[in-house]
């Protein structure tokens, strides 16, 4: 396979083709004869020439390009194996291995990379060689070891085969040791800072999301970029740095705090060789992990399919695959001849059919929920909806309010994001009001993915049937004010911002006293600890006052309606 040969004369092309006939001793970097041929050709055309050589000493490809532009097969031989070939190329202007050479060695997991210096009159000079080092190696170079340069007539003295065998054995041994200790996926987090004041908080939240999803965070990176790169967001250099870090930390997952487009995810995955997720996929995964009831599962699947649908992309020949008859040219059976349906169209049609089915199922769930709400309304029992940022302690507060310490009344309360995905109602009692229904809702989060917001809108709209909102704020967490504002923005989008609201500043016992005092003054909230049952009486009094105010207002409206009806009669 000849690559990048434009502008060459026929005689030069023939000389390049003759390189395929060169065979070297297996397990060697090259031969003096091959080094001389490459140097002469490179001097003649004044361009770099790269040849790819397998472990049997055969030339696989010849490219008129540097190491980065060389034609390389797309092979995946597993994490414990190298590529199975090495790259030998020329440096017409002399000099040692470049940064690009070493990057290609590392990213492509080559057996080795070697550069031949070209001297005057096309004579080969020194040969520079480098190979990878096992993960976790401590030395001057993290990812590779550069050997001392040798004259071209000694190019075949280095036993590359033995070095590769020892290296792969070391990589496999290290992998087995790590695998025996590893019970979770190891993740590197990347949050891009475009000048936001809460970039650090967003990275902390991304870390908490990853932990909730079951990943072990081994490195966090806050990357400042005023302008994002179109294809990779952070640029090729930063991706190479992240790949190197993943290699040494045994990480197999790269999670971005920004939503990635389909093309961006593919390009980053191709550049790093790692599994790529964005924040939206991470949240969807957590929702799928925690979904318990029928409604939650339907909503999660609906959100996942809506996220997946625009990311169905055909690649090359995949678009020409035909479903059914295989097209008229293939001579399909009678009555089925025609263009058929591409694989991509089939996938889209199946997703559309599934979306329609899920939406119909959710309509039935919404009808049943509406009936339950009407029953509560006829009973004239006040309803208090507990809202707040995810993991603020809403479920713990509901358990404390209703004394539901034991199953089956106890509501799941975990130190994880989105532990509760479906609204859960429990009956409680408030002095001066009597029986009330307290409803624990789905936790909010800033920049809620639009697919999730749409899927859970019916659940969130149940908040509108409440008499009072109990807004729970984790005052001990950094950025409590920004989280409170994020919840208020979502409530405003749903049209519930003007509802009577009581603010509970939860986890007060763990909060900074100055922060707690400032938030009490700013929000008028009541410091409580749902876990330690502190401040609950004051909070119940505030809820009772709010409910009583709503009841007085409703009573006044009823009196006014009766008076108008009497006047009309």
Residue 59, SS3 per DSSP: strand
CA distances from 97 to 1, 47, 191, 217, 476 (A): 24, 16, 33, 34, 53
> Residue 419: its pLDDT value, please?
56
Identify whether the C-beta of residue 340 lies closer than 8 Å to the C-beta of residue 331. Answer: no
49 closest CA partner among 87, 22, 7: 87
Q: Both tokens of residue 369?
A: 């929920």
> Residue 4: its pLDDT value, please?
60
> Residue 261: its pLDDT value, please?
84
> Residue 477: its pLDDT value, please?
85
Tell me how far the alpha carbon of residue 72 is from its chain's centroid.
28
Cis peptide before 484 (omega within 30 of 0): no
Q: Both tokens of residue 167?
A: 């290296």
> Residue 215: its pLDDT value, please?
87
CA distances from 113 to 4, 30, 110, 492 (A): 19, 11, 7, 60
Distance of alpha carbon 520 from alpha carbon 505, whole angstroms: 8
Q: Are strands 150-151 and 424-430 parallel, antiparallel or unpaired?
A: unpaired
511 closest CA partner among 519, 503, 522: 519
199 closest CA partner among 496, 497, 426, 479: 479
Distance of alpha carbon 14 from alpha carbon 139, whole angstroms: 44
218, containing H or E segment: strand 216-224
Place of tokens 């603020």: 392
> Residue 418: its pLDDT value, please?
62
One pLDDT digit (tens) per residue for the chain, 569 residues = 555 655 566 777 777 777 777 888 999 999 999 999 899 988 888 889 999 999 999 988 888 887 777 777 765 555 567 888 999 999 998 899 988 888 888 888 899 999 999 998 889 999 999 998 877 654 445 678 899 999 999 999 999 999 889 888 887 777 676 665 566 788 999 999 888 778 888 898 899 888 888 888 999 999 988 888 888 888 888 888 888 888 778 788 999 998 888 888 888 888 888 889 988 888 888 877 766 667 777 877 888 888 877 776 543 333 333 444 444 444 444 444 445 456 667 777 888 888 888 888 877 777 776 676 666 555 578 888 888 888 888 888 888 887 654 554 555 555 556 655 566 778 888 888 888 888 887 778 887 777 666 666 656 666 777 889 999 999 998 888 888 888 888 888 878 888 899 999 999 998 889 989 999 999 899 999 988 888 999 999 999 999 888 888 877 877 777 878 777 76
DSSP 517-561: HHHHHHH--EE-BTTTTBSHHHHHHHHHHHHHHHHHHHHHHHHHH
Q: Where are the beta strands (DSSP E) in 279-337?
A: 322-323
> Residue 137: its pLDDT value, please?
57
Q: Both tokens of residue 403?
A: 């004394």
How big is the chain, counted in residues?
A: 569
143 closest CA partner among 189, 174, 107: 107
Distance of alpha carbon 312 from alpha carbon 530, whole angstroms: 45
Distance of alpha carbon 268 from alpha carbon 260, whole angstroms: 10
CB-count burial class (<10 Å; 0-12, 13-18, 19+) for 170: middle
Maximum Cα interatomic distance, the chain, rounded to a whole number of Å: 115
Identify whether the C-beta of residue 420 lies closer than 8 Å to the C-beta of residue 411. Answer: yes
Bridge partners, residue 188, by sequence: 219, 254
Q: What is the pTM of this model?
A: 0.68
DSSP 244-261: HHHHHHT--EEEESSPPP
214 closest CA partner among 188, 183, 259, 181: 183
């Amino acid at each position: 396979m000849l690559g990048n040969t434009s502008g060459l004369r026929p005689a030069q092309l023939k000389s390049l083709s003759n390189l395929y006939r060169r065979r070297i001793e297996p397990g060697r970097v090259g031969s003096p004869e091959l080094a001389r041929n490459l140097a002469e050709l490179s001097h003649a055309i004044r361009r770099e020439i790269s040849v790819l050589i397998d472990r049997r000493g055969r030339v696989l490809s010849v490219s008129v390009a540097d190491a980065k532009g060389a034609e390389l097969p797309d092979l995946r031989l597993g994490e414990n194996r190298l590529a199975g070939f090495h790259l030998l190329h020329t440096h017409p202007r002399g000099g040692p291995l470049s940064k690009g050479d070493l990057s290609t060695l590392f990213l492509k997991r080559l057996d080795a990379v070697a550069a031949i210096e070209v001297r005057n009159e096309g004579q080969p000079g020194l040969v520079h060689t480098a190979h990878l080092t096992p993960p976790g190696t401590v030395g001057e170079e993290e990812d590779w070891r550069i050997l001392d340069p040798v004259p071209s007539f000694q190019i075949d003295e280095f036993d590359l085969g033995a070095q590769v065998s020892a290296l792969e054995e070391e990589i496999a041994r290290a992998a087995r040791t790590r695998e025996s200790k590893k019970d979770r996926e190891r993740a590197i987090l990347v949050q891009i800072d475009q000048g936001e004041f809460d970039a650090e908080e967003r990275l902390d939240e991304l870390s908490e999301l990853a932990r909730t999803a079951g990943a072990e965070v081994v490195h966090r990176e806050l990357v400042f970029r005023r302008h994002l790169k179109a294809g990779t967001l952070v640029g090729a250099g930063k991706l190479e740095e992240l790949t190197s870090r993943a290699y040494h930390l045994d990480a197999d997952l790269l999670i971005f705090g920004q939503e990635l487009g389909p093309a961006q995810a593919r390009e980053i995955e191709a550049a790093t060789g790692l599994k790529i997720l964005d924040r939206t996929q991470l949240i969807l995964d957590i929702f799928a992990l925690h979904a318990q009831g029928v409604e939650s599962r339907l909503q999660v699947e609906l959100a996942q399919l809506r996220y997946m649908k625009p990311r169905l992309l055909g690649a090359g020949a995949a678009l020409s695959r035909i479903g059914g008859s295989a097209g008229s040219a293939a001579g399909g059976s009678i009555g089925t001849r025609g263009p058929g349906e591409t694989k991509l169209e089939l996938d889209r049609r199946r997703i559309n059919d599934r979306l329609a089915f899920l939406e119909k199922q959710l309509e039935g769930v919404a009808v049943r929920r509406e009936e339950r709400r009407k029953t509560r309304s006829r009973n004239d029992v006040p309803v208090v909806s507990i809202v707040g940022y995810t993991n603020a302690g809403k479920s713990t507060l509901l358990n404390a309010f209703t004394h539901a310490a034991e199953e089956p009344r106890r509501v799941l309360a975990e130190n994880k994001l989105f532990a509760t995905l479906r609204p859960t109602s429990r009956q409680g009692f408030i002095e001066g009001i009597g029986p009330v229904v307290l409803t624990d809702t789905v936790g909010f989060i800033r920049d809620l993915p639009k697919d999730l917001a749409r899927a859970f809108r019916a659940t969130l709209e149940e908040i509108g049937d409440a008499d009072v909102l109990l807004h729970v704020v984790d005052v001990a967490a950094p950025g409590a004010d920004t989280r409170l504002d994020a919840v208020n923005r979502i409530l405003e989008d749903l049209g519930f911002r003007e509802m009577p609201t009581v603010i509970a500043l939860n986890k007060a016992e763990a909060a900074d006293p100055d922060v707690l005092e400032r938030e009490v003054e700013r929000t008028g909230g009541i410091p409580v600890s749902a876990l330690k049952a502190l401040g609950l009486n004051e909070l119940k009094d505030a809820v009772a006052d709010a409910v009583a105010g709503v009841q007085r207002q409703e009573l006044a409206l009823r009196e006014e309606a009766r008076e108008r009806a009497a006047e009309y009669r």
